[in-house]
A and B are shown apart, each in its own frame.
Chain A
Amino acid sequence: MIHIRPFEYEPTDEERERASNSYVMSLVAVMVGMPLPIVNLLATLAFYLAQRHSTRFIRWHCTQALLSQVSLLVMNSVGFIWTMRVIFDFQDVSNYYIAYMITIGLYNLGELIATIYSAIKVRDGVHIEWMLYGTLTNEILE
C-alpha cells in the first residue's frame, strides 16, 4: 500500500520540510473541526499551486497529497449528500447507508494514518509512494 523507494536525488532540509507540509495541509480540515469534504482539498490545492514551480521532490509530494484528497472528496461528498437526504428528505437509514458511512470512515481513518506517517517520513527525507496515487504522480510528472 505504501512503498519506500529511493528518490532521484537527496532532498535538502528545506525541501523535506515543504514536502512534508503538503501532507500537513490535508489535515487542516480535521484540525479546524470542519467536516465538509471540500476543505481538505482546497487547502491541499492551495499549497500545490504555491509549490508548483518548486523542486521535483516538493512537487512530487504535493501532487501525491492532492491526488489522495480528490478521491476522498468523491467518497465523502457522496456520504454528505446521502446524509442530507436522510435528514431532510426522510430517506430510510438503511444498512447500506450505515455500511457506506462506516466504509468511508475507515478510508478516511486509513488516509489520515497514511498522511501522518508520510508527513513524518518525508520530513526525514524518505521518499514514500502510495499505491495508485504514487503511480499516478509518476505518470503525471513524467
Chain B
Amino acid sequence: MTSSSAGAPTLGPPIVDAFDAVPVLAPFRETARRGDWDALRSMLHGVGSVDDLVAVVEHLARLDGIESGLERSVADRPDDVLVTLLAARYVRAGWEVRTRDRARHVSAAQFEQFHAMLGRAERLLVDVCARRPDLAPAWSTRLATARGLELGHGEARRRYRRLAAHHPHVFAAQAQLLQQLCPKWGGTWEDAFAFARECAAGSPSGSPAGALVATAHLERWADSDSRSGRAHLASAAVLDELREHAARSVLHPDASLGVQGAEAHGAFALVYSLGGHAVAAAPHFRAMGERVPPEPWDYLEDPAGDLVRFREAAFRSETQGEA
C-alpha cells in the first residue's frame, strides 16, 4: 500500500517481532535456539556496548525453554553473563505466569509462583553482582526482580545507583526503574517524570534516553481514561517537550541507538500519534521501517491495526504538509 506522494516511503504491512525488528539479534537467537552455549558465551562477551549487552540479554530472555540448557552449561562452566541470562529467563518466565494484569486480577497461586521464580533469579544475581558489580545486565535484571518482589522504591533506586556508578546511561535499566516509579508500582507521576527528564538531560546527545520521557507520557496515558489522556497528549506543551527530547536523542545527527533504537523511535511515534501530532510521528515511523518491535505498541488494544493506521496518518500528514 503506497502513498501517492514521492516523499512517502513504500512500506509493506509491519512485521511485529522483538527479534526481527533488530536484525543484529538474529545470530544470538539462532545460537541460543541451537543450544550452543559456548558460542553464545563468546558472542555475548564480544558485544561492544553496555547498552546493547543489556538489550541482547533482555531479548534472549524471551526465548522459551532455554533454561535447562543454560542450567547445565553454567553448572559445568560458570560464567557470569550466562548466569545473568539464566536469571533473566527466570524473571521473564515468572512475569509470564503473573501476566501484566493489575494485581487484583492475579491469583494467589500465580503470585506464589511469580515470587518463587523471581527469588530464584535474585539469588543468582546477588552473587553475580557481588563478583561483577560492573555487569550491567545483572543490575538491570535486578531492577525487574526488585519491582516484582516489591522490595521497595529505596532498594530499586539503590540498585540503579550501583549500576550508574559503573555505567551512568544504560537505557534499558533506566526504563526498568521508570516502570517502578509509576503509580501502578507504588510510585508517583512526579517521581516518574522527574527521573525520565533527569536521565534525558544527563545523557549524551544521540543516546536514546529522551525516549524515556515519551514512555513516561505513554504510561500516564495508559493509566488515565482515554479522553483526558489524549487531551493531555494533544497539548502544545507536551508536543514541545517531546520534540525537544526527540531532537536531542533519536533524531540527533550523532544518534547511536544500538539495539533499542526501534523501540525508542516507537515510543515517540506512538505518543505523537495518540496526541494527534501525526506530522511529528512521521520521521520516527520512517526510521523504524517495516520491522517493528512489539513495545510500546502493546499498550494498544489492536497493536497491528493501530500501528498501520497511525503510520498511514503520519505519512499522509507529512505529504499534505509538503504539498
Task: Specify whether A and B are partners.
Answer: no
**Chain B contacts to A: CB under 8 angstroms:** none
